[in-house]
């Protein structure tokens, strides 16, 4: 007799909190460190309650020093612990550039595999609430050049929990980008134990005419645009990559070969964004399957405004994606 898994609706932030709590309880080597992650519960409340439950030796408040945060995480990881390091904003990864690129990402290789670097760097990203130019970007593509680190970007509470648990258990360093604008987003999450393999994309919607390849918050705008397009008789497939490294190239090729018309969308600006790499892979692997040029629908290439009114014009909308769907379907 099989039992039906118990499913609840949790917020994106609560799903992350639950993953952290479960991994802290499961493995005594896991600990959390970051600015205000302790009694305060984190800048966005994601670690709320963990300090009271696990104590100050497992949930550690740190000074305001990103170099120390990442460097301390690397040091702990190579000596056998499994740190989860929280930066208050993903934008601050530049403040710890040498530790992320030169140490976290490279040291396992540079030391011939003598040790692993099993750490997670949590990076709240994205435009949300008028946080301004230094607190609102989506810089995940910057780490594509940092070979050695994984890049994980969940779009739902279910994915947020399952991918984080896998990231904590992995022996490679993982940059885990969580969108601040989705912390309140609710979705179904099983009570039972589960993990999601890193590097496995998810087909969020099946379609035949146009493919949207995306990740993070743009997944939801892509789904909204796909629903609107369906009313006009255009069948849109939405592929959520979930990880930029490991990258599910097979899933990208499969959707391109199926529809022949591709839109790549992300919140970061077009130039230097992950979409350029995806487009290059499509050109190398399956260009003969294309029925139209690849389109990129991305953020406006400008610093994110402080104004909440102006901020909304920087990020691509479902309407932007809808116009691109109509255009590419006619090509």
Q: Is residue 1 part of a domain?
A: no
Q: If you average pLDDT over every residue of the chain, what do you get?
A: 95
Instruction: Report how far apart, in Å, the C-alpha atoms of 274 and of each of 32, 153, 193 are.
Output: 29, 12, 32
* Predicted local distance difference test score (pLDDT) of residue 6: 86
> For residue 309, what pLDDT is reported?
87
3-state SS assignment for residue 90? helix
CB 83 within 8 A of CB 99: no
26 shares its domain with 166: yes
Q: Averaged over 75-104, what is the pLDDT?
A: 96
180 and 254 in a single domain? The answer is no
In a domain, 247, yes or no: yes
d(CA 151, CA 245): 5
Residues 95 and 66 sit within 8 Å (Cβ to Cβ): yes
Give yes or no for residue 118 having a pLDDT over 90: yes
Is the peptide bond preceding residue 274 cis, with omega within 30 degrees of 0? no
Same domain, 161 and 129: yes
Together in a domain, 162 and 224: no
Tell me, what's the pLDDT at 2? 56
Asked whether residue 160 carries a pLDDT value surpassing 80, the answer given is yes
Examine the domain organization and report whether 179 and 214 are in the same domain.
no
- Of 123, 158, 190, the last residue of a domain is 190
Same domain, yes or no: 163 and 238 = no
Residue 262, number of CB atoms within 10 A of its CB: 27
In a domain, 17, yes or no: yes
In the chain, % of residues over pLDDT 70:
99
Any domain includes 143? yes
Between the CA atoms of 312, 318, 323 and 329, what dihedral angle is there, to the nearest 10 degrees? 150
What is the domain extent for residue 86? Answer: 7-190
Residue 28 neighbours by CB under 8 Å, 6+ apart:
none
Does a structural domain hold residue 165? Answer: yes
Residue 69 confidence class, pLDDT cut points 50, 70, 90: very high
Q: Which of 5-9, 118-122, 131-135 has the highest mean pLDDT?
A: 118-122
Encode pLDDT of 273-309 as tens digits.
999 999 999 999 999 999 999 999 999 999 998 998 8
Any bridge partners for residue 178, and if so which? 124
Q: How many helical (H) and strand (E) elements, i.e. helices and strands, does the chain have?
A: 11, 14
β-strand pairing of 202-205 with 236-240? antiparallel
If asked whether residues 165 and 135 sit together in one domain, one would say yes
Q: What is the C-alpha separation between 120 and 168, in angstroms, rounded?
A: 6
Q: Is residue 324 part of a domain?
A: yes
Band of pLDDT at residue 43, cut at 50, 70 and 90:
very high
Question: Would you say residue 196 lies in a domain?
Answer: no
| Most confident by average pLDDT, 126-130, 133-137, 208-212 | 208-212
Q: Is residue 198 scored above 70 in pLDDT? A: yes
146 and 123 assigned to the same domain: yes
Please state the rounded mean pLDDT for residues 195-205: 98
Q: Is the pLDDT of residue 244 over 80?
A: yes
| pLDDT surpassing 60 at residue 225 | yes
Q: Is residue 195 part of a domain?
A: no
Question: Which residue in the block uniquely carries the two structure tokens 């550039």?
Answer: 97
Asked whether residue 40 falls in the same domain as residue 66, the answer is: yes
CATH number at residue 236: 3.40.50.920
Detail the DSSP E strand segments found in the chain: 7-11, 30-34, 59-61, 82-86, 120-125, 150-152, 174-179, 186-190, 202-205, 210-214, 236-240, 243-245, 262-269, 295-299
Residues carrying an active site annotation: 135
Give this prediction's pTM. Answer: 0.96
Query: Which residues, in sequence order, are bridge partners of residue 98?
Result: none
Residues 19 and 122 both lie in one domain: yes
Rounded mean pLDDT, 74-103: 96
CA-closest candidate to residue 230, choices 207, 198, 258, 253: 207
pLDDT class of 235 with cuts at 50, 70, 90? very high
- Domain edge (last residue) among 158, 190, 222: 190
Percent of the chain clearing pLDDT 90 (strictly above): 92
Same domain membership, residue 122 and residue 46: yes
Please count the structural domains in the chain.
Answer: 2
Q: pLDDT band at residue 4, thresholds of 50, 70 and 90?
A: low
Do 151 and 246 share a domain, yes or no? Answer: no
- What average pLDDT does range 183-189 have in this prediction? 97
* CATH number for 75: 3.40.50.970
At which of 142, 166, 190 does a domain end?
190
């Amino acid at each position: 007799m099989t039992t039906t898994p118990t499913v609840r609706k949790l917020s994106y932030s609560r799903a992350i909190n639950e993953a952290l709590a479960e991994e802290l309880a499961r493995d005594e080597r896991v600990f959390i460190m970051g600015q205000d992650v302790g009694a305060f519960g984190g800048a966005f409340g994601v670690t709320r309650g963990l300090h009271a439950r696990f104590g100050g030796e497992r949930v550690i408040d740190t000074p305001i020093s990103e170099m120390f945060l990442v460097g301390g995480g690397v040091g702990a990881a190579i000596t056998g612990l499994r740190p989860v390091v929280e930066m208050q904003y993903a934008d601050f990864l530049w403040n710890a550039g040498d530790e992320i690129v030169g140490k976290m990402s490279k040291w396992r290789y540079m030391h011939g595999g003598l040790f692993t670097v099993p750490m997670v760097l949590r990076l709240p990203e994205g435009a949300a609430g008028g946080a301004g130019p230094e607190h609102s970007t989506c810089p995940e593509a910057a780490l594509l050049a940092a070979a050695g680190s994984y890049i994980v970007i969940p779009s739902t509470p279910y994915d947020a929990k399952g991918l984080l648990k896998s990231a904590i258990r992995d022996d490679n360093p993982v940059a885990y980008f969580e969108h601040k604008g989705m912390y309140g987003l609710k979705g179904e999450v099983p009570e039972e134990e589960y993990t999601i393999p890193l590097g496995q994309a998810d087909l969020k919607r099946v379609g035949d005419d146009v493919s949207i390849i995306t990740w993070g918050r743009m997944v939801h705008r892509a789904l909204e645009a796909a629903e609107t397009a369906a009313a006009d008789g255009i069948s849109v497939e939405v592929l959520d990559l979930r990880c930029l490294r490991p990258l599910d190239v097979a899933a990208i090729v499969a959707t391109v070969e199926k529809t022949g018309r591709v839109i790549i969308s992300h919140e970061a600006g077009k130039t230097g964004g992950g979409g350029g790499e995806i487009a290059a892979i499509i050109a190398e692997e399956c260009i003969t399957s294309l029925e139209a040029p690849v389109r990129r629908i991305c953020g406006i290439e400008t610093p994110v405004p402080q104004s909440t009114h102006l901020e909304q014009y920087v990020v691509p909308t479902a309407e932007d994606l809808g116009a691109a769907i109509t255009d590419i379907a006619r090509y």
